Amino acid sequence: MNHNMALFQNNLFIFGLFFFCITTLVSSNTASRHYTPPAVAPLTDLFTPLSVDQGFSAFFGGPNIKIINNGSMASIALDKSSGSGLISRNDFHYGFFSAAIKLPAGISSGVVLAFYLSNADKYPHNHDEIDIELLGHDKRNNWVLQTNIYANGGVSTGREEKFYFWFDPTAQHHYYSIIWNTHHVVFLVDSIPVREFPNRGAFSSVYPSKPMSVYVTIWDGSDWATHGGKYPINYKYAPFVASLAEMEMSGCMSNETVLPNSISCSKASHSSSSRSDPVYGQEFISLSKQQITALDWARSKHMFYSYCKDTSRFKVMPSECK
């Protein structure tokens, strides 16, 4: 009896020690993501935010869209009946696009909030797309940032990269931004570059090249967003509400509606080559030393997936990965 009790207590101690170590490791991994980022110039300060009504119209799920603060802010929601989303009133051919977003708190596995550019409506078999996708979390994970690029209808070959955040994206608004011009596509979070996709070499053949609309949507991605659908949305926690503020769209517009910091594409086409992009300053043509340092920091500490390292998915790596 005493021997069995001692054995039980010993096993209990070992189990407790194991559980403590695992808990500490998980907590350490989670806490380690909350780094202080390098200092960078805030690119969002260079542009004038648009009122939501001025820049966007309802794309779908109208009842789940709320315009507030005289149009300066909006909320979009996902519930059991529908997701919701906005679409820009103009198409753009290059520019700077940004939104301050506060994500839904709590368990949100399967929820996808996307801030992206696409022309799938006009080129259904040959479309381009530049995606920032924010993937909801369950009890095991934090929210995840996924970036993706499609060009010329190549929807079978996504170019995904995934990152953990260095902050809690549900606590307050953070800036999610895209630079798209003749030189490169850059994805930024709070002006920290997390990915650069250059328009040169092997990248040029898969570079988005046609005018696109800007979208911000929230929807049910249960079938793919969390480990292949392992953790679907639990609508017991609905509605899932995201807050949007400081929407910025500055670029070459295919339409003739006037927006701050934007010009019509017809005027841009007659400009000198150095001014063919409306966001043409040095800070948009190439990354500064400060931005390169920040990019390296984000990718070394927070990126956990890149399509260019997925040998199980690609028997032959895409040409730009070589």
Q: CATH number for the domain including 248?
A: 2.60.120.200
- Half-sphere exposure at residue 285, Cβ-oriented, CA atoms within 13 angstroms: 8
Threshold 0.95, pTM exceeds: no
Residue with tokens 């368990």: 107
Q: Mean pLDDT for the chain?
A: 84
Q: Evaluate if residue 304 carries a pLDDT over 70.
A: yes
Where is average pLDDT lowest: 111-125, 240-254, 270-284, 285-299? 270-284
pLDDT at 18: 43
Q: Give 247 or 252, the one with higher predicted confidence.
A: 247
- Domain contains 170: yes
CA atoms within 13 Å, Cβ hemisphere of 67: 15
Domain of residue 255 covers 43-321
- So what's the pLDDT on residue 261? 62
Note whether residue 4 is domain-resident. Answer: no
pLDDT for res 29: 41
What does the alpha-carbon distance between residue 130 and residue 95 come to, in Å, rounded to a whole number?
A: 12
In a domain, 173, yes or no: yes
Give the range with max mean pLDDT: 144-153, 170-179, 252-261: 170-179
pLDDT at position 13, please?
46
Mean pLDDT, residues 236-264: 83
Range with the lowest mean pLDDT among 19-23, 59-63, 234-238?
19-23
- The half-sphere exposure of 79 on its side-chain side, counting CA atoms within 13 A, is 10
Query: What residues are annotated to the active site?
Result: 129, 133
Q: How far apart are CA 30 and CA 63, in angstroms?
A: 36
Whether residue 216 lies inside any domain: the answer is: yes
Query: Span 73-94, mean pLDDT?
Result: 96
Read off the pLDDT band of 173 (50, 70, 90): very high
Predicted local distance difference test score (pLDDT) of residue 308: 94
pLDDT category, 153, cuts 50, 70, 90?
Answer: low
CA distances from 54 to 67, 70, 260 (A): 12, 11, 10
Residue 109 lies in a domain: yes
Mean pLDDT score, 133-148? 88
For the chain, what percent of residues have pLDDT higher than 90?
62
pLDDT of 303 strictly over 70: yes
- pLDDT at position 322 is 79
pLDDT band at 27 (very low <50, low <70, confident <90, very high): very low
In a domain, 9, yes or no: no
**Residue range 213-219: mean pLDDT, rounded:** 98
Count how many Cα atoms sit within 13 Å of the Cα of residue 113 in the half-sphere of its side chain: 26
16 in a structural domain: no
Q: Which helix (H) or strand (E) holds 178?
A: strand 174-180
CA distance 125 to 34: 41
Task: Tell me the mean pLDDT in the region 169-198.
Answer: 96
Find the helix or strand (DSSP H, E) in which 245 lies. strand 240-253
- Name 196's bridge partners: 186
Residue 194 placed within a domain: yes
The count of structural domains within the chain is 1
User: pLDDT grade, residue 126 (50/70/90)?
Assistant: confident
Rounded to an integer, what distance in angstroms lies between the CA atom of residue 315 and that of residue 321? 13
Model confidence at 156, in pLDDT bands (50, 70, 90)? low
On whether the CB atoms of residues 208 and 128 are closer than 8 A, the answer is yes
Q: What is the pLDDT of residues 259-296, one digit of tens each?
A: 666 666 655 443 433 445 567 677 788 999 999 999 99
